[in-house]
Amino acid sequence: MVVALTAAGGTISMLIGAVVLRLTFTNTYQRYVRPEMGRWLLIAGVAVIVLGLATLVQALRGARSPEGHGHDDDHAHGVGVGWLLLAPIAALLLVAPPTLGAYGVDRAGAVNIRSGPAVFDRLEQSDVPRSMTLLEFVERAFEHGGASFNDVPVSLTGFVAGAESGGFRLARYQIACCAADATPVVVRVLGTSGSSPSDDQWVTVTGTFEPGGGELPRLAATTVVEIAAPEDPYE
């Protein structure tokens, strides 16, 4: 198998590795894939850098030594289609696309839950709000009309996905592997006074479950606190 060892190819590989490691060390990768992928990205990034370095060294040595393997094929076996990698690498070295936001909520189709797979125990009475995922909130809401909430206050964290009269929609994505398979979970927040936070603003909402409401379960809010986007933006 003829494989050209081009110095450009080695350089591109090292840049791929650098981008992967940068996303890993800054925890930015969690905007795109599940947190468990971190260690595999680390291994992959290091492997690609080592490979690129080996290629670069061999290509440069081949340029000096007459017996070297630094030959290039006349056409297809060079970097070829690998040049396409350069554009996203260059972009990603400089800017990182944000976590999925309100734009995709109505395009992806919400999680379709009518009765949750789990059977929930009733929440114990407490004055401290119970923190839960939006998915758990929605599953509890559709199980026996939300009986398991027991009027206990809950707190939900997500981003704002559209203002509505008397409140706004709160959403957060579920991902199985990466952001390409993201499915939004949406909750309707009621009872906020004044203007709603703008779209894509992350908030922690405290309140109690409000029965009824049809498609989207409702939360009667007591407090809405604006927060910075979490490092782990998906459920």
Partner 1 sequence: MVAIWRVLRSLWMARGAGDELALSEAPGGLHERTPAGRRDIGIAVVLLVIAGAAALRPLLQDLLDQPAIAHWATIFVAITIQAMPFLVLGVTISAGIAALVPAGFLPRLLPERPALAVPVAAVAGAALPGCECGSVPIAGRLVARGAPPAAALTFLLSAPAINPVVLVATAVAFPGRPDVVGARLLASLLAAVLVGLVWARFGRDEWLGRARRRHSHGGSPLSVLAATAQHDLLHAGGFLIVGAATAATLQTAVPRSILDAIGGSGMLAALALGGLAVVMAICSEADAFIAASLTQFSLSSRLAFMVVGPMVDVKLIALQAGTFSGRFALRFAPLTFAAALSSSLLIGWWLL
Taking the least distance from each CB to partner 1, the nearer of 154 and 175 is 175
Taking the least distance from each CB to partner 1, the nearer of 225 and 232 is 232
Taking the least distance from each CB to partner 1, the nearer of 9 and 207 is 9
Residue 32 CB, nearest approach to partner 1 (Å): 4
Interface of this chain with partner 1, residues 136 to 195, rule: CB under 8 A? 176-183
Backbone angles phi, psi at 174, to 5 degrees: -95, 135
Residue 169 CB, nearest approach to partner 1 (Å): 15
Which residue of 22, 62, 116, 130 would you call a contact of partner 1, by CB under 8 A? 62
Short-list 102, 122, 72, CA closest to 169: 102
Interface of this chain with partner 1, residues 192 to 231, rule: CB under 8 A? none
Taking the least distance from each CB to partner 1, the nearer of 170 and 182 is 182
Query: How many residues of this chain bind partner 1 (CB under 8 A)?
Result: 84
d(CA 170, CA 183): 14
CA dihedral 184, 188, 193, 196 (to 10 degrees): 20
Residue 8 CB, nearest approach to partner 1 (Å): 3
d(CA 204, CA 190): 14
d(CA 31, CA 202): 14
d(CA 111, CA 225): 25
Residue 13 CB, nearest approach to partner 1 (Å): 6
Which residue of 27, 35, 59, 186 would you call a contact of partner 1, by CB under 8 A? 59
Taking the least distance from each CB to partner 1, the nearer of 200 and 206 is 200
Backbone angles phi, psi at 67, to 5 degrees: -95, 5
d(CA 91, CA 86): 9
